[in-house]
């Protein structure tokens, strides 16, 4: 961990020392923004963000660029969030679960069954009337602004032990969850024993038997190679996950109006490209996993819904949360 922080610090020095990264097309300097990502270069998020950076550079005549650091080389998400808050790293992709720890209102989007499709999720999370206050809520205390999000697709449970059909099948199994109180309760409600852990540690923990399983989308199941060690992927379909793009608030305030407009426009194109890639990569991932012997099965959906529904009332405690929840629900109808 210290290594990642030291690396991020030295990157800042390099960037400052060279007066950022040299001449832009117009004779000015290119500011290359550093973006922390915990996915591989094959993941749709890397591809869409890398293309975002290229388009941004073109649209700003070389004034702004983005360098994406994949594989959590700048730190796992918790650290990346802190580095963006400090201004050591400019941008990061963090899971919704990370922001829930700073402002409980974010937990609405992390609830099981809150979105009924990727389309309604993307519509809700990019509607300023719904998310305007939420996305600026971390600026005062954390200097973090939420720009928007990428879908994580539907998340499902997978296990080394065998196919899961009902919550009873998860009894006694140690299932990894993201570092979130809500998701810890969710996996407990689904019958398993929840083990919070950062993403990058899951493969080894599955391999060594510290974990019996985890829950994630098909793309991460394959890019992280979890399918090699946990062969039974069961469609619990418990939630449509969400990643946020966050930016250091001071940095964002320093953009000229022209550059901010280019940033917003190219970001909108980036999440559209990501959503498109997502569907294709999900299909490809299923094929890859099946070819390697992974088994996919449907579950008793009603049995899971029955244990998951009560979490909504337990975790929706304020009017602000209820308003966001209602907007998410009506986007699907």
Establish if 271 lies at the interface with ligand GCU (CB under 6 A). no
Closer residue to ligand GCU (CB): 199 or 227: 199
Closer residue to ligand GCU (CB): 63 or 274: 274
Q: Return the residues of window 202-261 that contact ligand GCU according to CB under 6 A.
A: 216, 220, 243
**Helices marked H in 60-168 — which ranges?**
77-86, 96-100, 118-125, 128-136, 139-142
Size of the site for ligand GCU (CB under 6 A): 9
> Which of 38, 88, 120, 145 forms a contact with ligand GCU (CB under 6 A)?
38
Distance in Å, CB of 44 to ligand GCU, minimum: 9
Establish if 156 lies at the interface with ligand GCU (CB under 6 A). no
Establish if 152 lies at the interface with ligand GCU (CB under 6 A). yes
Distance in Å, CB of 93 to ligand GCU, minimum: 6
Strands 144-159 and 213-216: antiparallel
Print burial letters for 192-223: b (CB count within 10 Å at least 16), e (below 16): bebbebbbeebbebbeeeebbbbbbbbbbbbb
Closer residue to ligand GCU (CB): 8 or 262: 8
Distance in Å, CB of 195 to ligand GCU, minimum: 12
- Terminus-to-terminus CA distance in the chain, angstroms? 44
> Which of 60, 159, 178, 248 forms a contact with ligand GCU (CB under 6 A)?
178
Q: What is the DSSP string of 137-150?
A: TTHHHH-EEEEEEE
Tell me how far apart the alpha carbons of residues 265 and 261 are, in angstroms, rounded to a whole number. 6
Instruction: Determine the distance from the C-alpha atom of residue 25 to the mean position of all C-alpha atoms in its chain, rounded to a whole number.
Output: 33
183: which 2 tokens? 């998701």
What are the residues binding ligand GCU (CB under 6 A)?
A: 38, 77, 95, 152, 178, 199, 216, 220, 243
């Amino acid at each position: 961990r210290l290594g990642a922080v030291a690396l991020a610090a030295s990157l800042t020095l390099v960037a400052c020392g060279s007066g950022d990264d040299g001449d832009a097309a117009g004779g000015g300097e290119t500011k290359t923004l550093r973006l922390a990502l915990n996915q591989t270069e094959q993941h749709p998020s890397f591809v869409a963000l890398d293309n975002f950076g290229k388009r941004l550079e073109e649209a700003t005549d070389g004034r702004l660029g983005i360098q994406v650091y994949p594989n959590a080389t700048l730190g796992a998400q918790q650290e990346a969030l802190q580095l963006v808050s400090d201004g050591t790293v400019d941008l990061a992709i963090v899971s919704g679960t990370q922001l829930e720890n700073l402002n409980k209102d974010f937990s609405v989007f992390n609830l099981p069954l809150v979105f009924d499709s990727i389309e309604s999720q993307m519509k809700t999370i990019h509607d300023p009337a719904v998310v305007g206050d939420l996305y600026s809520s971390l600026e005062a205390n954390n200097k973090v602004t939420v720009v928007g999000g990428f879908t994580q697709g539907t998340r499902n449970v997978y296990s080394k032990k065998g196919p899961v059909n009902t919550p009873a099948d998860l009894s006694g199994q140690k299932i990894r969850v993201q570092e979130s109180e809500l998701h810890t309760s969710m996996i407990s409600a689904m019958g398993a024993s929840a083990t919070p852990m950062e993403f990058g540690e899951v493969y080894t923990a599955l391999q060594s038997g510290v974990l019996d399983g985890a829950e994630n989308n098909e793309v991460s199941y394959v890019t992280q190679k979890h399918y090699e060690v946990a062969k039974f992927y069961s469609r619990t379909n418990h939630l449509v996950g969400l990643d946020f793009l966050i930016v250091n608030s001071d940095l964002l305030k320093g953009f000229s109006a022209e550059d901010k407009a280019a940033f917003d426009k190219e970001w909108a194109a980036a999440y559209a490209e990501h959503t498109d890639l997502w569907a294709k990569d999900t299909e490809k991932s299923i094929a890859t996993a099946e070819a390697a012997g992974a088994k996919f099965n449907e579950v008793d959906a009603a049995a899971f819904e029955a244990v998951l529904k009560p979490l909504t009332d337990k975790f929706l405690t304020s009017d602000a949360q209820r308003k966001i929840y209602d907007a998410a629900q009506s986007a699907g109808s």
